[in-house]
Chain A
Amino acid sequence: MRVTFEIMRFDPEKDAAPHAESYELELESGSKVLDGLVYIKTYIDGGLGFRKSCAHGICGSDAMIIDGQERLACKTLLRELGASEGSRIRIGPLKGLPVQRDLMVDQDKFFEAYRAVKPFLINDEKVEGRERRQSPAEREAIDDPTKCILCGSCYSACPIVQEKNPDFIGPAAVLNAARFVFDSRDRGLGARLPVLDRPEGVWACESKFRCTEVCPRGIKVTKSINLTKRRIESLKK
């Protein structure tokens, strides 16, 4: 079917501000949005800037705003968007991060917040040459946050980051802290408190659930944030 991609373009070497450009192309209802972007880059405009790699929803490179919502271009099929002959699909970069070029945003602030929560196992106890034991139930407790691919969708969708408190470390950073806070092998909650237990940490979150709604991995992000709040509260009691 014939569809139109309306893409926000911005070239820092040429443009003062972003502007929309339209491309007509022939795709199938089972095509991914990424297929359309690659077609444009291959046959219409080699200068179109976007990131991509694995093309099946695991590497986290191609989060962008498609028809008003954060999605992975490689995991969004035209039929999911309700596209039909003549449809117009609007594509723009993630919000809350500076646009570098077209659909590419500067992810430094996002990754900086991730690194700040010490997203690694903290535990100095000796292990005796084999694995630390962990029951299937203990393992299950951290399963959901381990799915995170750091694509930035939740950060872009978060109304707190966007409208209220731009210094909030964001849903993904808290989620990745939770991945360790609730790991039965971890001893690092105290070390993470200076980042988590402050107005720009977990307490910025007002449970608007936008992160959970847009997460392309189906992670219950808000739930993990709330569990982390409760863990910190119980620690203080």
Chain B
Amino acid sequence: MQQEYDAVIVGAGGEGLYAALEASGSGRVAVISKLFPVRSHTGTAQGGIGAALGNLEEDKPEWHAFDTIKGGDYLVDQGAAAILAEEAIQAVYDLENLGLPFSRTPDGRIDQRRFGGHTRNFGEAPVRRACYAADRTGHMILQTLYQQCIKNEVDFYNEYFAVDLLLDGPTCKGLVVLELASGELHTIRAKAVMLATGGFGRMFKTTSNAYANTGDGLALALRRGVSLEDMEFYQFHPTGIAGMGILITEAVRGEGGILRNRQGEAFMAKYAPKLLDLAPRDMISKAILSELKAGNGMRGDRQIDDYVLLDATTLGKEVVEEKIPDIADFCRTYLGIDPVTQPIPVQPTAHYGMGGIPTDTDGRVLRGEGEDRYLGLYAAGECACVSVHGANRLGTNSLVDLVVFGRRAGRHIADYIERTDLGRAPDGSDAYSRDKIARLKSGKGVHGGAIREEMQKTMMEEVGVIREGAAMRRAIAKIEELRDRYREARVQDGGSAFNTDLLELLELENLLDLSLVTAEAALRREESRGGHTREDFPERDDGKWLKHSLARLADGHPSGRVEFEYKGVDTSLYPPKPRVY
């Protein structure tokens, strides 16, 4: 591959592809991805992309912004949420114009449906805001953007894995990547690098996330001294298939599906009397856990891995086949049941990291708690934190986020690379990466597989939906022990070509670092807010905790301690209020 680019985008999900499209007109741009195109996790998003088009009933971007802020339990930076909601509208029209096959209304407009937490007139009742393409909206976004990249001849490097980021003080100089096919390391100089590597749900045992979601971009930024924001806020989606984590879209409830406990009771009426099954995800996941603990789960054994039922039998065959066909296929394939006639066993499933690499609304990575920014370093999508999701993301807003802020980052990169010279990468830039890989390949050691499984179990049980101080202290001690054991881990495969054993060991390091930061951040936040629920601190505490956390590794090295600072939240539009649905 070339050793010099104007911009390199790491990750080929929606935000990476949109940024590449925007920036590729202004210079030489490469997308590197550890997967092949259209394999990225954007493609699994099901239910919809929220935008106040008002195609079926009145809707306004102000309402969408308010719902996003309230849904995020007021930890959202409100100016960013206003941009998200405002630009969502044109973004959806642009995607349609680029060919995205949205489902349609009888008069040929983009159809819209209800989704959790999206309301009209500041919380009055559910509104039809989610634009969708059956239940494969993310698949169609990913395909449409990749198709546009083909049209615009964007350069792709498939199956290249980012190992290190080259930072010279505040300036990004490029990155070091591992080529899977050959096992070679390449140092790429670039004026701009954008991290678009998606989520890190694989730190948990039961997750909707792909094997590839190992937080690579966050971890390599973290190890180079970049702070990560709000890592304690992780979303557990209420309706993963019990025991498997395969996601059953919220659109099932948007179309009329109802959650029931072992008595057959539609229990959400007790927790969210107005929005019922369309309350935000954090509230529904907590409600399910409460039901399980009260012995109302289907097994009734009060264990957190018990489950409840999602009843879609009222939808009728036609709606199921037309509006949620892939969901029906998942149920038939993996459960051997037909959702038209049988309810689906579901439980909360690790799904989405609200926190991430702190950025401004142009995707520029922030330094510390002030307004300082890195030069030439960008991030967008799930790996970034703008912060539009605050303490809990609303359904459909991940797709809005990656389209709106992926594109904004791409535009800023286009401008930046036109007025910046390509700098020198320091000599020996790849020494750190070479040493790391040489160590993982030297001699015999433990295999990473067992470490990974223990990490996933620990995070799921001790840093999951419901958290508590002593359990999290245990988790931190365990993760520290696993990180020590990782230093003795070695690949079993000493080869060079297509060494996926090495790749997985590098991914494990990323997950271990992020697990530690997540658990430490969660232990420190002594309140309950959005997706972060503490048994020992059950109330939201705006006096002490209406602030973003920023975590960094103390000496910028994996063996370092985690240190914290905090920064304020932009509450310029709507002052925080109690959150009732």
Q: Do A and B come from one complex?
A: yes
Residues in chain A within 8 A of chain B (CB atoms): 11-14, 30, 41-43, 45-47, 49-61, 75, 77, 100-101, 104, 107, 111, 115, 118-121, 127, 129-136, 138-139, 142-143, 146-147, 149-150, 180, 183, 185-186, 218
Against A, the Cβ 8 Å flags (1 = close, 0 = not) of B471-501 are 0000000000000000000011101111111
| A-B contacts besides A47-B493, A47-B501, A135-B108, 11 pairs, CB < 8 Å | A14-B495, A46-B491, A46-B501, A53-B211, A54-B41, A59-B44, A120-B99, A121-B98, A121-B99, A129-B93, A132-B96
> Can you list 24 A-B contacts (CB < 8 A)?
A13-B497, A41-B449, A42-B449, A46-B448, A46-B492, A47-B495, A50-B500, A51-B36, A53-B39, A53-B210, A53-B211, A56-B330, A58-B43, A58-B136, A58-B139, A77-B333, A101-B498, A111-B37, A115-B150, A118-B151, A120-B147, A129-B93, A146-B101, A146-B136
Write out the residue numbers on chain B whose beta carbons fall within 8 Å of the beta carbon of A49: 498, 500
Taken together as a complex, chains A and B put the C-alpha atoms of A130 and B450 apart, in Å, by 52
Given A59-B39, A142-B101, A147-B136: A46 in contact with B449 (beta carbons within 8 A):
yes
B104: which of A14, A52, A129, A134 is its contact (CB, 8 Å)? A134
Taken together as a complex, chains A and B put the C-alpha atoms of A130 and B94 apart, in Å, by 8
Residues in chain B within 8 A of chain A (CB atoms): 35-41, 43-44, 92-93, 96-99, 101-110, 133-134, 136, 139-140, 143, 147-148, 150-151, 181, 210-212, 246, 326, 329-330, 333-334, 447-450, 452-453, 491-493, 495-501, 504
B449: which of A43, A139, A180 is its contact (CB, 8 Å)? A43
Taken together as a complex, chains A and B put the C-alpha atoms of A132 and B110 apart, in Å, by 9
Q: How many residue pairs bridge A and B at CB < 8 Å?
A: 154
Given A58-B44, A120-B148: A131 in contact with B97 (beta carbons within 8 A):
yes
| Cβ of A140 to closest chain B Cβ, rounded Å | 9
Write out the residue numbers on chain A whose beta carbons fall within 8 Å of the beta carbon of B110: 131
| Cβ of A164 to closest chain B Cβ, rounded Å | 27
Taken together as a complex, chains A and B put the C-alpha atoms of A183 and B93 apart, in Å, by 17
A149: which of B38, B93, B148, B495 is its contact (CB, 8 Å)? B38
Q: Are A56 and B102 in contact (CB under 8 A)?
A: no
Taken together as a complex, chains A and B put the C-alpha atoms of A115 and B105 apart, in Å, by 31
Taken together as a complex, chains A and B put the C-alpha atoms of A218 and B325 apart, in Å, by 11
Q: Are B212 and A53 in contact (CB under 8 A)?
A: yes
Q: Are A139 and B101 in contact (CB under 8 A)?
A: yes
Given A56-B246, A131-B110, A136-B106: A13 in contact with B449 (beta carbons within 8 A):
no
Write out the residue numbers on chain B whose beta carbons fall within 8 Å of the beta carbon of A131: 92-93, 96-97, 102, 109-110
Write out the residue numbers on chain A whose beta carbons fall within 8 Å of the beta carbon of B140: 146
Residue of B with least CB distance to A32? B334
B150: which of A60, A61, A77, A120 is its contact (CB, 8 Å)? A120
Taken together as a complex, chains A and B put the C-alpha atoms of A154 and B344 apart, in Å, by 31
Q: Are A101 and B44 in contact (CB under 8 A)?
A: no
Taken together as a complex, chains A and B put the C-alpha atoms of A46 and B282 apart, in Å, by 37
Q: Are A12 and B497 in contact (CB under 8 A)?
A: yes
The 4 closest A-B pairs by CB, nearest first: A121-B99, A42-B449, A133-B108, A47-B493
Q: Are A133 and B43 in contact (CB under 8 A)?
A: no
Taken together as a complex, chains A and B put the C-alpha atoms of A11 and B492 apart, in Å, by 14
Write out the residue numbers on chain A whose beta carbons fall within 8 Å of the beta carbon of B499: 47
Write out the residue numbers on chain B whose beta carbons fall within 8 Å of the beta carbon of A45: 492
| Cβ of B382 to closest chain A Cβ, rounded Å | 15
| Cβ of A157 to closest chain B Cβ, rounded Å | 19
A136: which of B104, B150, B501 is its contact (CB, 8 Å)? B104
Residue of B with least CB distance to A106? B181
Write out the residue numbers on chain B whose beta carbons fall within 8 Å of the beta carbon of A118: 150-151
A107: which of B36, B98, B104, B134 is its contact (CB, 8 Å)? B36
Write out the residue numbers on chain A whose beta carbons fall within 8 Å of the beta carbon of B495: 11, 13-14, 47
| Cβ of B43 to closest chain A Cβ, rounded Å | 6
Residue of B with least CB distance to A115? B150
Taken together as a complex, chains A and B put the C-alpha atoms of A136 and B109 apart, in Å, by 9
